Chain A
Amino acid sequence: MSNIDKLHIINSNNLSGKSYFTSILQEAYNCGLLYDSDIEDIHLRCLEFLACKSERYNCGRSSSIRVEQAESIMKSIFYTIGLYLKSLPDADSAVSELKTAIITEMYEKGRRLIKTKLHTAKHLYILVQENKLDTINYTYNATVNDEGIGSFFKLYNPEYEAHEIPASIDYQLCNPVNDLAGVEYIQKYLENLLLENEFCSRFNAEDIHHLLCSYDKGYKDLLINIFEHVLTAALGCVLAKRSVLKLDITDKEIQRLSYELSKDNDNTLAVRISKASEKVLEELNVTNISLRTYIEKSLPKITVSIIHAVRINTLGQTFVAPVNLNLKPKIQFLPGEKMDDKKYRKLINELLICRYSSDKLALIKENVKSFSDMEDVLLDAHLSGEEITSLFDILGDVEIAALIKRHPFKSDIQAVDLSEGEQALQLSLKRYFDQLATDRQETILEIVDRLIDD
């Protein structure tokens, strides 16, 4: 009998965080707390207020307003009042407030809350910038900088568009913010991002880079959540009885772990992962309760992916062994000197008037002495697909790799801005590469990876 909870008539689980005002009206109506006449009265009071706001919006210059604009202002009013109602102890008190309070007063209280939340969000934004991760991931950087979330503070209009989020936020959080709008969304997003940053900043930026490189070399352009990968790797390290801090786990250890975990059932696995998370927190000395809660909240998602990976024997893709791409030997390809312009023009003219493919090939073999010239000839000489393939046959793996690196195949849509010669070369190169034996393809691709950019 020590805990006596007040019995609430309205089920707060049925209320929407985004449109709290309309959902509370609906729920109160369904529960019999509000009658048709109450709803009509609230509607009329809101409409009167909308008329005032619209007049202010038009600066008294126009008696009419576009419907979509009026709807947006109405949503903004609902959002602001909803924010105030949310701040009340429970939904039942919010309903009694709705019945008695004046709309403009509730709105003003909501506006004061928006102001406070905006200040908090600004402070959080400064903190996020301070503990920003050192990463090359484009989405992360674009979201955290002034053109991303920063633009919210310049464009947010609490007067007429309080419910909008005028910011470019592409970076996906591990625990996305789904049921909030306006300044509430930004505040929650920044809170979560701050916690993710705090966790990731306990690791060396270079170790995270190597981990993500191993996940995908092109992670720079991927829409990934860095925190989720780091936490997963940390759990992997604990499960493999390795130190968490370096996020260092080898392929062999992952294989062994996969074999070991496959013996457990789902529940046992979940318990093991949960224990591993406690170990991670302990090893990293995480005392921040918010961060601990956030990690706990993220765990089910990661647990599901680990269990799934164990069941289909793909744990090597969930726990990845970090790779340091800089340690792989690099190849510097020198394309050689270009021939004299006059001589090149003469060669191209000869090739253009030459009728037989065999003669063209002979001409090229005789005159072209460098890779640079060969590349130019492939682009300028209007060679047929077969002629280009014959030329590829006389090239070695490194030259083919260099061509692939410089002329990667693009789809029709991507290739729309390319010249006709460039498109023909890319297409012929792709066809030639596709018909090569698999082991030669692998060799060439490895060389492509190791080639240093020009």
Chain B
Amino acid sequence: MKLSRNWLSDFVDLSGFSNKELSEIVTTRIAEVDSILEIGPGFEHESVKLTEEDLIIEIDNKSLTHRPDLWSHFGFARELSAVLDRPLKLDLDRFSDDTAEGIAEFSKLLQGQEAVKITIEPGTKMRRMMACIFENVEAVESPLWMKQRLASIGAGVRNFLVDLSNYVMHDSGQPNHFFDADKIDSSAIWIRFAKANEPLKTLDLKDRQLSSEDLVIADKNKALDIGGVMGGADTSIHEGTKRILFTAGCWDPILVRKSAQRNQARTDAAQRFEKNLSPYLPLVSLQRIRMLLSEGCPSAKLAGKVSDVFPEKHGPVKIALTAKLVKERLGDGAPDFSKSCKILEQLRMKFIEKTSDSCLIEVPHYRATRDLSIPEDLIEEIGRCHGYENIHEKAPLIASTPSEMPALKALEYEICDLLRGAGFSEVSNYSFVEPVYSEQVGYPTKDAVELANPIDETQGALRTSLVPGMLRTIELNAKYSLNFRVFELGRRYIKSSGSDSKTPALERRFLALGILVSPEAQGNSIPSVKNGSEFYSVVSTIQKIISLRTGLKGVIKPITSTEALQWMHPHRAGSIELDGERLGVIAEIRPKFLPDVKGRAVLAELDCETLLECSKARVYTPVNRFPVSLFELSIVAPRKTAYSLLEKDVRNGVPKELLREIEVLDVYEGAPIPEGMKSVSIRVSFGADDRTISSEELTALQERLMAHVEQSSYSIRR
């Protein structure tokens, strides 16, 4: 919302403050200033040229969400008058019929014949409706000052009647409307809900079909405007207008807000009504209009009496406040109670009771609709007018209690550090996925959380795995780099089926890691194992991660080609398990998902929460004092025998308590090993807890082991 300094100065003396100072005062005491603009002669808007200097203050509307009283120049002037402790030059509040003066003035307008009969239909929640007819009006050109004021805040300029209505809204804060009284049946109006699909051409020249939830002002025949939102085009003021029907109402904020949304017309009027305007304002706007009409169009006169329907006057809002609360909430530097009361008085709170340390006040009507209702609201009023710069910092007196760091978070940070040390870079993907792509790579979205209003189709659902995002990340970075390592720690989301669950979706933290290795950079620590180095390197990184909390190694179980997900290389995929719990998966990315990429890429995904659940308490095991004996042998097995299986078979051949470790030394294929077979060389170490193993015992163990191996469908290479 824009404010003109000159306009504000109609109401309150602002002399002595520079433009910058004024803007500072508004921001620190009242509401956020978005920007200020100094304008003067040379400034032009809709062909209206300014002749004077002015300052335009643009207020951030969001900061006025809770302040229905501040949507006008008078509203801000009243506030400045309180904050600066300067009297109002022109006080529009005295027009309102919650003052004796206002009631007296108003009673003069209630004499004579009824010109317009107002009927408010039930259910419309109309708080007040006021209407009257002015005769002998003329749609002349507006006076220059009025045009300049409107132009300075960027409003349109038409003719005096249209401009007057608009001016008074920006002046008093009350939206109001003039109908051409000769274009309607002005003898009676109704406030009612529109009929379903009732047609109305609005001021913006749109032909609309109203909904039965829209409110309208109607005459006997038809809807004349969308209540609280926008006037109709066919009944609007034009050059030949002679008689006008003035209407100003207090509409239900919720109904107006919904109507404005439905009709996509968040007009100045709707924006104000949805803030919950005071029902005493319509009269203020009427009096202001009469005042300005007599200046700009002296021939105009009220025909008959003013009609006013005010169905339900709400009782006054009263709030009790204690000196103790002010002190407690504001803290060090809070004003004393008499200063606090003075601030409330400047803000026009009425004191019903007052002692040295407590008071009961009544809130002025323009802030009584929701804005001020509890003592804390008054604390804010006192605090901001007193100036928060006067409040001093102070450490609270509190019990010293240890704070917690969630175990999952601690684990994740350790994983971060470990991976960073291993050359991995952390990425952060969006939570959104393209359902089609997700499905293509192997994650159907039937369990996904779908968005009702996504930005577009490519971001239509929440990810059920980090894999799709990681695939894209690898594809993206492969354009710039031949070798890289990336990881992501993030959530995946699964639709929750039970409605009683504490969270709407099942959210779980996962780790994804991926690497791309160019052909030149491939190679294993065992040179004769030519392939899969990128796979084995990710496995060893994962083993380090698993051992962080468990001290254990995970087990990689082959995933068969029929079980492999679409993104997985069907012969290079495995699941990662620990203690029989599935922690995640690892696989080379199927080449077709990385077209144009030369190297090989491997991707793994781990469930961080399951990993954390597998944590083991660390307990000391005695360090063995006796030497171990080593024994190497080469076993010939069919080429596709999984090493894990082979190792298990070997393990079964020796007493568990004597076996220390089995290490793989080499895997060899080729002559003289027969086609389709491989030779796996391993080193077995034996040891006992209570003695050194004798050479006889060792020989016996070796023989027992070899016999066992040969029985288990392998042969020993001698």
B is a partner of A: no
Binding site for B on A (CB under 8 A): none
Binding site for A on B (CB under 8 A): none
